Structures are given as C-alpha cells and as structure tokens.
Amino acid sequence: MNKAQLIVALDVDTFDQAQKLIEDLDDSVDIFKVGSQMFTAYGPFVTRYLQVRGKKVFLDLKFHDIPNTVASAVKSAVSLSVAPGNEQDFAPLHMLTVHTCGGHEMLEAAVKAADEQAKKLKVKRPLIVGVTVLTSQAKEDKLQALVLERALLAKRAGLDGVVASVEEAPLIRRYCPKDFIIVTPGIRPAGADVGDQKRVATPQAAIESGSNYLVVGRPIVQADNPKKSAQAIIKEISNSAFLG
C-alpha cells in the first residue's frame, strides 16, 4: 500500500442518515466502516447498499467468542462478498475485525474459516485485522507493551494486521513486517473535539507513525459539511504522503 486511506465510520442512528452521508461523500470516499450500531439495526442491508454502489466495506464487529463460533461468524461475513443479483459494480467485503484478546486458537480459526469460505465461494478473502486495545481506554504504563504483545499474537495467527492507536503504531512497525496493516481509529483533525476517545491523533501524525488506514467518524459525520471535512482530511493525507 503506497499511501494511507481514509475510512469513514457510519456511526449514525438511521439508514436514512447513513444513505445521505454515503451519497454526499460518493465522489470523495471509497471505504466506509459498518459497525455494531448499523449492523445491529439493519443487518447486512447497509453493507449490501454500499457494495452495490461499488464501495469497500470495513465490517467492524470485533468478533470475540469461542473459536468455533467466531469461525462461523467469519464464514458468514465472507459470504457477504457474493453479490445477491447480477450487479456489475458489486464490491467484495474489504476488511473485518476480530478481537485479539480471544487468543491464538480463536484468531487462527478465524483466518482458516475466511480462507476456506473465500475459496469455496471463489471470492477474494477480506483482510482480517485484530483489535488490540480500544482507543477509548486511557493511557497506562504497560499499554504499549500490551498492544505490541497482541499485535505479535495476531501476526503469528496469520492475521493481516491490527487496529491500534497512533501511539502504538511506531512500535508495531518496528517489530512487524512492512505489509502488516495498521488501522488507526480516533483520528481527529487539529482542533476537533476528541469526544470519548483518550488516544487520538491528527491524520498527519497517524501517517507519520505508520498507519495504513485512518478511521474517522464524528469529525466528518457530525460536520455541517461532511464532504468538505472529508476532502480536507484526504488533502492532509495526500500532503503527508508526499512529504514523507
């Protein structure tokens, strides 16, 4: 991956709100995050809507259960890559999350299930990234060590990368391969309200720390002009990549 990419989190209450946001950002944003709020309310309908529009979906459900249950959930997620009709622009599921605290056996089961289901359905396997520590958790003395431990666990289990804050990204970059993906939430442009996030960063800081994907929610979703806000962040990403 040559440069970082923006992911917009569809953390809104209704599909109408999500639809308007997707339409407003259609020319600017390629990847959208569907989390537990949207998926619980509407199931796969939102992901299908995005995929039919040719958009990439980051399914952020943080699967965490016994290995067999997670494997079954991942199989179902991979099945979302199959177009329900004859849509020409249908985009396969791009990425999904599991929680690293589920342990090595669970993570391996998730990867195996994804590989097998993708092969069976003849679709591209989505990237699987492991959630390390939520960015809403406050800083602690041993937090970086814990995140690195979970990142290395994810790597050994065969995951494609992890979700981690900008503060841990440089450490992960030091000990993991270049192609190991880092997804960074808690991105806030300079001067933006941090909300309930404790470990936040600007787009530039995240890129300089080695992040591949920057997840942005409220600074775009709650903006008076979401498209303008998204384009400003994309510009900062491009400028940071150029300077780097």
Residues paired with residue 96 on neighbouring β-strands, in sequence order: 59, 128
To the nearest 10°, the Cα dihedral for 78, 75, 65, 165? -20
- Within 10 angstroms of residue 178's Cβ, the number of other Cβ atoms is 7
Tell me which H or E stretch contains 52: helix 45-52
Cα–Cα separations (whole angstroms), residue 4 to 34, 113, 120, 211: 19, 28, 31, 7
Candidate list 55, 62, 228, 235, residue with the active-site label: 62
Contacts for 121 with CB less than 8 Å, ≥ 6 apart: 78, 79, 81, 82
Report the first-to-last Cα separation within the chain, whole angstroms: 14
Evaluate whether 132 touches 181 at the Cβ level (below 8 Å).
no
Please tell me the chain's helix, strand, coil percentages from 3-state DSSP, rounded to the nearest 5. Answer: 45, 15, 40
Evaluate whether 10 touches 32 at the Cβ level (below 8 Å).
yes
Q: Is 122 a catalytic residue?
A: no
Report, as residue numbers or ranges, the catalytic residues. 62
